[in-house]
């Protein structure tokens, strides 16, 4: 299992085309996502996310009113103050809000730790979106392949699933 972040980044980037071909292979062969999810859950048990936090550095996290209220409750602030201080309009959906980020990632990231962990938004709680039986947009293989260079869990799960499915990448595919 590869856990060194620089190596995950290098290998994930190098396998970008292969992962696109693998997505197509899975779609063409009607492979279920559940075996992949089971592998990912097993791998996740061996990865300490606090040594990485790339999800907090590179994600755009949508937040709803209930999540702003939960964050506010955790911080001792009102939801409107959370909205004003810690969120901004979503560029892709004018009526939605996303957590602000800075040069280091999410506004709530300190080192590799989330300062609002008990009140973190659903998207953060669910990352890397690999729970068995879930079929969220974030859990689609196409979405996951984009994270292969950033997340050791996703990188290793994809590589394991390639072996399980018997997938062999050829440069011509």
Whether residue 65 is found in the same domain as residue 103: yes
Mean pLDDT along residues 42-50:
93
> Does the pLDDT of residue 95 top 90, yes or no?
no
Locate 135 and state its tokens: 């079929």
Q: Of 79, 147, 78, 71, nearest to 107 (Cα)? A: 71
> Does the pLDDT of residue 106 top 70, yes or no?
yes
Does residue 145 sit within a domain? yes
89 — phi, psi (to 5°)? -60, 145
Whether residue 102 is found in the same domain as residue 150: no
Q: How confident is the model at residue 139 (pLDDT cuts 50, 70, 90)?
A: low
Whether residue 43 is found in the same domain as residue 84: no
**CB-based contact 161:153 (threshold 8 Å):** no
H/E element, 87: strand 87-89
Whether residue 137 is found in the same domain as residue 97: no
Q: What is the pLDDT of residue 130?
A: 76
What is the domain extent for residue 44?
5-55+128-165
Q: How confident is the model at residue 173 (pLDDT cuts 50, 70, 90)?
A: very low
Locate 108 and state its tokens: 């709530």
Whether residue 110 is found in the same domain as residue 64: yes
Does residue 150 sit within a domain? yes
Whether residue 66 is found in the same domain as residue 109: yes
Whether residue 77 is found in the same domain as residue 113: yes
Q: What is the pLDDT of residues 14-36, one digit of tens each?
A: 999 999 999 889 888 888 888 88
Q: How confident is the model at residue 140 (pLDDT cuts 50, 70, 90)?
A: low
Mean pLDDT along residues 97-121:
96
Q: Of 54, 41, 39, nearest to 4 (Cα)? A: 54
Mean pLDDT along residues 107-111:
97
> Does the pLDDT of residue 137 top 60, yes or no?
no
Whether residue 145 is found in the same domain as residue 99: no
Whether residue 111 is found in the same domain as residue 155: no
């Amino acid at each position: 299992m590869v856990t060194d972040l620089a190596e995950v980044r290098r290998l994930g980037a190098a396998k970008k085309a292969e992962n696109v071909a693998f997505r197509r292979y899975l779609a063409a062969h009607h492979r279920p996502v559940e075996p992949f999810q089971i592998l990912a859950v097993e791998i996740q048990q061996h990865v300490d996310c606090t040594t990485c936090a790339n999800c907090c550095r590179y994600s755009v996290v949508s937040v709803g009113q209930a999540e702003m209220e939960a964050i506010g409750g955790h911080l001792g602030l009102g939801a409107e103050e959370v909205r004003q201080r810690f969120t901004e309009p979503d560029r892709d959906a004018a009526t939605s809000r996303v957590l602000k980020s800075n040069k280091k990632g999410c506004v709530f990231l300190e080192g590799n730790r989330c300062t609002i962990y008990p009140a973190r938004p659903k998207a953060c709680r669910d990352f890397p979106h690999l729970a068995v039986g879930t079929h969220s947009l974030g859990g689609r293989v196409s979405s996951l392949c984009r994270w292969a260079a950033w997340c050791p869990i996703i990188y290793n799960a994809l590589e394991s699933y390639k072996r399980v499915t018997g997938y062999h990448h050829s440069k011509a595919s």
